[in-house]
Chain A
Amino acid sequence: MQVNITHLRKDFGATRAVDDISFSFSSGQIIGFVGSNGAGKTTTMRILATLDEPTSGDAKIDDVSVVEVPEQARRLIGYVPDALPMHRDISVHEYLDFFARAYGLMGTQRRQVLESIEGFTNLTGIQEKNLYALSKGMKQRVSLARALVHDPPVLVMDEPAAGLDPRARVELRELLRVLSSQGKAILISSHLLTELSEICDRAVIIEQGRIITAGTLQEIAKSDIEQHTVLIRSLNRQDDLYKSLLLIANVAAVNRLGNEIEAKISGSEETCSDLLENLIRDGYRIVEFKQQGGDLESVFMNVTKGEVQ
C-alpha cells in the first residue's frame, strides 16, 4: 500500500496553510511529520483523513483519491486526531462498538474485532469505564483503538504522544512498532522529536506550509546541514582554546558547557577535520571532539527558522 501526496495546497482565505507539499510513504514505514505550531501539519493530516478538501493537489492511497472518493478513502485510513475523545455517558466498549458498527462490522465479527483491539491496546480492564472519566493516556489508547477498529492499512496520527507520561509514551512507541511490523503505513506528527527519531524510518520537516527537507534522518543530516555543532574537551589550556576558537573564521559561535566547549562550525565535515588537526598542531591535548546533531531535534533546529504563517 502506497500513500502519495502530490502538490497539496490549502488556502484559508488569504492564508496559505499548505503550500505545494508532495511526499510518499508505504506499508511498514513510520514517517515523522515534523514542524512548528502553525506549520501546516494538522491541515495536511486533516486533508489526508478527508476532513478538509485541498485547494489543489491530491492525496492517494494506492489508487483511491481522498478528494474524489473520500468515502472509500476513509475505509483505508485510521485517523487519530489531536483532540481526545471527551464524550459523556458512554463506556469505552460502547464507544468502540459504535465505530465498529459505523464501519459496517456485524455480529460475531464485530465482537471478535473489539475483543482483539481492546486486548491489543490494553483496554480490556477498563472497557466498562466511562470514557469521560479516563486519564489522558487511557483516552489516547481509546483514540488509537478507535482508529484501528476497521483495520486500516494507513494510520494518520496527530500528536498522539502529547501530554502522555513517560510510561505511556514508551507503551505507545511499542504499539507503533508492532503496527508497523504488521505492515501498516504510519504518518505521525509530534513535538517530542527525540521520541520520534527513535521510531521513525523517515521524516518530513515542514515550515510555513512548505517541505523544508525529507528523507531518512541520515539523509536529512547530510543534505541540509551547513553548520556542525562540535563538543571539544581539552586536557590543557581550556581558556586559551576558547579564545582561539573565537578567532577562527569558520567558527560561528562558541559556548562553554562545564569543562567542554561547544563550537558551531560553518562548512563541511572536512572543515571540522581541519580544525581538529590545527588544534592538535597548536599543542592542545584534545581528548574529545564529538560532532553533535544527526538526531531529529538537531536537524529540525538547524533547518527551520521558527517562522509561522
Chain B
Amino acid sequence: MKSIGNSLEKINDRLNPIVVKELRQAVQGKFLIVVLICFLCLQLLTMGLFLIVDESISVSFDAGLNICRALLEILFGTCLLFVPAYTGIRLASERTDANVDLLFITTLRPRSIIWGKFFASLVLTVLLYSACMPFMTFTYLLRGVDLPSIFILLALVFIVVAVGIQCAILIGCIPANRVFKVILSVGWFGLVVTIFPVLSVIMFLPGGLLDSGIGSQLGSWSFWRGALGVLSGGLALIGLCALLSVALISPLSTNRALPVRIFVTAVWLLTGIGAAIWSIEVNDLAPLSTWGFIHILLYSIGLFVAVSERERLGQRIRQNIPRRRLLRLLVFPFYSGAASGVVWASLMIILTALPIAAWTGIFPHMFNHDLETLKSLVGLGLYAFSYALGALLIRRRFLADRVAGAYTWVIALVLFGFTTTIIPLGLFFISGEWEQVWLVASPLGLLLFVNTNESHLVLHSVTIATVCAAFAGALSLPWLVRQLGNFKPLEQEAASDSQTNDPR
C-alpha cells in the first residue's frame, strides 16, 4: 500500500502544474457543474422523448440509430461550444498585462503552459464523454447501430473538439484589447455556428457517416486512408495552433518564429508529397492545386503578420545569430522580425507555386488540369505580397509616428478592402451598371474570374498583381537590404561600432 501511495505521490508531482490548477478551478467553479447537469438532463429528456413518443420503436430496427444520432448531436454541440469557450475565455483573462502572475513570472515554459491548458480541456471533454457513455451503450442495446460506428464517430468528434480547443487557446493568447477580443469571440462563435451543422450533416444526419455503417469498412484501405488523413489534418492544425500560441506567450526576447516556421515548412513538405502522390494516383491536379491553394492562403496571412513584427531584434536573439555570413543568410528566414518573416513567407509562396508550375510544364498531358488554377495561385500570392509590403511602406513613410508597427496588418487590410470593395463600388456608382472587370485589381475578382472561366480577365488580374508586387518589392528593397545588413550577432555590431567611433 505504501508503494502505491509513493507512486501516486510521484505521479502527482510530475503532473503539469497548469493541469492541476485548471482542473481544481473547474471543479470548484459553477460553470462546469451547470453545463454537466444541463447536458445530462438534455440527454435524459431526449432519450425519454424518443422512447415515449416514437411509436415505431417496438417494431423498427432503427431506434438505436435515431437516438444515437440525437445524442451524438448533443455531445458534439456541447463539447464544441462550451469547452473551447471556457478554455479561451479563462486564458484570455489570465493573459492580460495587469495579470502576470499565472502565466509569466514562474519558470514554467510557455509550451508547458499551452499543453497544460490543452490537456486540462481534454480532460473536461472526457468528463462530458463519460457522462454520455451510459446513454450511448443503451442505444446499442436498442439496435440499429454498431459499436465501431459509435466509437469512430466519438473519436471524430473528439478530434474536432480538440482542434476547437486549440483554436480557442490561440485566440485567448492573442495580446488584444477588449474590443478586439469581443470581435474575435464573435468571429469564433460564428465559426462554430457554421462548422457545427456542416459537420453534423457529414457525420450524424441521414445519409452521413453514421448511416454508412463504418464498422463494415474497417477492412478497407480507403477507410484507413481517410481516417489517417483526418487524424493527420487534425494533428497538424493542433500543432500549428499550439506553436502559434506558444510563440504568442513567449518572451519577445526569444526567437519566437523559429518553431512555427520549422513546423509549417515540415507540414508543407509532407503534405506536398502526399498531395503529389494523390494527384498521380487519381491522374488529376486537383489534390496538388488544393494543397497549393491552402498553403498560399496560409503564407498570405503570414505576410500580413510578418510586416507587423518588430524590425529591430532584441539582444537575446542577436546573441544567437551565426557569425558566418553564408550561414546567416540561410537562417535569416527562420528568425523573428519583419524582414525575416517577409522573406520566409515569400519564399514559401514561390516554393509552393514552382513545383505545380514545373509539374504542369514537364508533364502537360499527365493530368487533367487547367492553367487558370495555377495563375490564380500565383496571383493570390502576388496580391498578398503587394498589400503587405505596400502597408509596410505606407506606415514607414507616412504614418511612422501615428501607427505602431504591430498594426501594419490593419493598413494592409484597408488596402485590401479599398481595391476589393471601394474601387469597384465607386465605379459602379459612377457608371450606374455593374461590370466584372472592375474587380480586376482584387484577389477576390481573380477567384471569381477563375470560377467563371474568364481567361482574359484572369490574365489581366495576374498582370496587375505582378506589376503591383514588382513595384512594392522594388520600393521595399532598400529596407530589406538594410534589415539583412543589421542581421548580425551582437559582438560583430559592437566591433563595427567601435571601429566607426575610433578617431584614427
Q: Is the CB of A87 within 8 A of B105?
A: no
A99 interface contact, C-beta 8 A:
yes
If A83-B99, A88-B29, A90-B28 touch, whether A106 touches B13 (CB-CB below 8 Å) is yes
If A53-B251, A90-B24 touch, whether A102 touches B106 (CB-CB below 8 Å) is yes
If A67-B253, A107-B9, A146-B101 touch, whether A74 touches B25 (CB-CB below 8 Å) is no
Which of A53, A68, A74, A94 makes the CB contact (< 8 A) with B21? A94
- Range of interface residues on chain B? 20 to 34
Q: Is the CB of B17 within 8 A of A56?
A: no
A74 to B102, CA, bound (A): 14
Q: Is the CB of B105 within 8 A of A49?
A: yes
Q: Which residues of B contact A106 (CB under 8 A)?
A: 13
Q: Is the CB of A89 within 8 A of B105?
A: no
Q: Which residues of B contact A54 (CB under 8 A)?
A: 315
If A53-B253, A90-B21 touch, whether A102 touches B107 (CB-CB below 8 Å) is yes
| Chain B residue, CB-CB nearest to A97 | B20
B404 interface contact, C-beta 8 A:
yes
Q: Which residues of A contact B100 (CB under 8 A)?
A: 51, 81, 83
What are 18 of the A-B contact pairs (CB < 8 Å)? Answer: A50-B105, A51-B105, A53-B251, A68-B315, A70-B251, A74-B106, A81-B105, A85-B101, A87-B94, A89-B24, A90-B21, A90-B28, A98-B21, A101-B15, A101-B20, A103-B107, A104-B107, A146-B101
A166 interface contact, C-beta 8 A:
no
If A53-B252, A53-B314, A146-B101 touch, whether A107 touches B13 (CB-CB below 8 Å) is yes
A61 to B404, CA, bound (A): 33
Q: Which residues of A contact B26 (CB under 8 A)?
A: 89
A300 interface contact, C-beta 8 A:
no
Task: Give A residues with C-beta under 8 Å from B.
Answer: 13-14, 49-51, 53-54, 56, 58, 67-68, 70-71, 74-75, 79, 81, 83, 85-91, 94, 97-99, 101-104, 106-107, 110, 130, 143, 146
Q: Which residues of B contact A85 (CB under 8 A)?
A: 101
A112 to B100, CA, bound (A): 26
B451 interface contact, C-beta 8 A:
no
Q: Which residues of A contact B17 (CB under 8 A)?
A: 98, 101-102
Q: Which residues of B contact A13 (CB under 8 A)?
A: 404
A74 to B29, CA, bound (A): 31
Task: Give B residues with C-beta under 8 Å from A.
Answer: 9-10, 13, 15, 17, 20-21, 24-26, 28-29, 94, 98-102, 104-109, 251-253, 314-316, 319, 401, 404
A102 to B105, CA, bound (A): 10
Q: Is the CB of B13 within 8 A of A53?
A: no
A58 to B107, CA, bound (A): 20
If A53-B314, A90-B25 touch, whether A75 touches B253 (CB-CB below 8 Å) is no
A71 to B105, CA, bound (A): 10
| Chain A residue, CB-CB nearest to B102 | A87
Q: Is the CB of A67 within 8 A of B106?
A: no
Q: Which residues of B contact A87 (CB under 8 A)?
A: 25, 94, 102
Q: Which residues of B contact A68 (CB under 8 A)?
A: 315-316, 319
> Nearest Cβ in chain A — how far from B19, in angstroms?
10
A149 to B414, CA, bound (A): 49
> Nearest Cβ in chain B — how far from A97, in angstroms?
8
A54 to B29, CA, bound (A): 39
A14 to B24, CA, bound (A): 44
Q: Which residues of B contact A101 (CB under 8 A)?
A: 13, 15, 17, 20
A86 to B99, CA, bound (A): 8
Q: Is the CB of B21 within 8 A of A79?
A: no
A11 to B313, CA, bound (A): 13
A137 to B77, CA, bound (A): 44
A-B pairs, 3 with minimum CB distance: A101-B17, A102-B106, A89-B29
Q: Is the CB of A98 within 8 A of B20?
A: yes
> Nearest Cβ in chain B — how far from A148, in angstroms?
13
Q: Which residues of A contact B105 (CB under 8 A)?
A: 49-51, 74, 79, 81
> Nearest Cβ in chain A — how far from B216, in angstroms?
47
Q: Which residues of B contact A88 (CB under 8 A)?
A: 25, 29
- Determine which residue in A86, A90, A143 has the highest number of CB atoms from chain B within 10 A of its CB, and name it: A90
> Nearest Cβ in chain B — how far from A144, in angstroms?
12
Q: Which residues of A contact B404 (CB under 8 A)?
A: 13
Q: Is the CB of A83 within 8 A of B107?
A: no
A130 to B25, CA, bound (A): 11
A89 to B10, CA, bound (A): 26
> Nearest Cβ in chain B — how far from A217, in angstroms?
31
Q: Which residues of A contact B25 (CB under 8 A)?
A: 87-90
| Chain B residue, CB-CB nearest to A102 | B106
Q: Is the CB of B98 within 8 A of A94?
A: no
> Nearest Cβ in chain B — how far from A245, in angstroms?
50
Q: Which residues of A contact B106 (CB under 8 A)?
A: 74, 99, 102-103
> Nearest Cβ in chain A — how far from B305, in angstroms?
20
